[in-house]
Structure 1
């Protein structure tokens, strides 16, 4: 989708320098993609830090317990 936006020349120069792109379109696209990715990562981190999301290792914990029991029952 094409979008027309007004950007100050100095800001556009900064975008070109920061992205390393030579052309304006790809530079703006790259900067936008990076900004979106950063926001998505921040949202995920906030969910983990707030406790809304967590890591469940039920399969891992069960396998670890079985391995511990197996080792305890093994002859020396």
Structure 2
């Protein structure tokens, strides 16, 4: 889909600089893709922070303790 966007010369120069693209179209496309990706990451992070999503690490603490004990054996 094509979209017309009005930007100042300063904004366009900044977009080209930030994206590293040489052409305007690819620069705006990259900036848009990066913004969407950042928004999606923020939404995922928010779901974890709110407790809506979580991770079950059933053996994590036991594994950590086992590793601590093994390290103490080698240290002594």
- Gaps in structure 1 of 5+ consecutive residues: 65-76
Task: Answer with 1 or 2: which has the greater Rg.
Answer: 1
SS at 1:31 equivalent? helix
TM-score (norm 2): 0.73
After TM superposition, the runs of 4+ consecutive aligned structure 1 residues lying more than 6 A away are: none
TM-score (norm 1): 0.73
RMSD in angstroms over aligned alpha carbons? 1.8
- Gaps in structure 2 of 5+ consecutive residues: 63-76
1:44 shift after superposition? 0.3
1:4 aligned residue:
4
1:27 aligned residue:
27
